[in-house]
């Protein structure tokens, strides 16, 4: 199993979506060869949706959920990290797997944007 220390790779603040995109690349490099990867969040101080949308959300566009459950593991999570990861993963699964939901979400965001 390949272990990625998030704090060693990105520092203690997981905010930038570009950093999330880099983590996505590291994950894909591992799991495309049928390797299991563990993301270790030990020593992380800030973990937010913008980072996770870059790192985890596209995995649910590119891979089956069951494959990801088998190949993607987490360590060092606090209760609040679990909450935000769950929120991002739930939204990504629905967005990429449910056409009607994706259209509804896109339309809702378009309407909200027009109201800015």
Partner 1 sequence: MAHCVDISRERPSQGERFFLDTSVLVHIVHPALSLGIERQRRAAPYAQFISDCKRVGAEMYISPLSLAELASIIEDFRHKVYCRQHSSDTKVKEFRAIASERRIVVDSIQTAWTQAISFANCLDHNVDAAAVAGALDLLRRTSLDGYDLYFAQLCHHAKICNIVADDGDYSTVDNLIVFSSTGF
The footprint of partner 1 (CB under 8 A) covers: 11, 13, 15-19, 45-54, 57, 80, 83-84, 87-88, 90-92, 95, 100-101, 103-109, 111-112, 116
Query: To the nearest whole angstrom, how small is the minimum distance from the Cβ of residue 49 to partner 1?
Result: 5
Taking the chain, what is the end-to-end CA distance rounded to the nearest angstrom?
A: 46
Smaller CB separation from partner 1, 2 or 49: 49
Q: Which two tokens stand for residue 42?
A: 């030990």
Smaller CB separation from partner 1, 29 or 98: 98
108 membership: H or E segment, kind and range: helix 99-114
Query: To the nearest whole angstrom, how small is the minimum distance from the Cβ of residue 21 to partner 1?
Result: 8
As a whole number of Å, the CA-based R_g of the chain is 15
Smaller CB separation from partner 1, 2 or 16: 16
Q: How far is residue 52 CA from its own chain's centroid?
A: 4
> Which ranges in 13-78 belong to alpha helices (H)?
17-31, 49-55, 59-62, 65-71
Query: To the nearest whole angstrom, how small is the minimum distance from the Cβ of residue 36 to partner 1?
Result: 25
């Amino acid at each position: 199993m390949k272990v990625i220390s998030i704090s060693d790779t990105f520092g203690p603040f997981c905010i930038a979506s570009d950093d999330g995109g880099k983590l996505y690349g590291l994950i894909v490099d591992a799991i495309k060869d049928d390797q299991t990867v563990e993301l270790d969040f030990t020593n992380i101080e800030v973990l937010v949706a913008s980072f996770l949308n870059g790192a985890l959300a596209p995995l649910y566009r590119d891979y089956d959920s069951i494959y990801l459950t088998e190949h993607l593991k987490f360590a060092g999570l606090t209760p609040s990290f679990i909450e935000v990861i769950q929120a991002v993963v739930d939204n990504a699964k629905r967005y990429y797997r449910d056409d009607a939901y994706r259209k509804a979400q896109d339309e809702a965001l378009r309407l909200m944007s027009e109201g800015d």
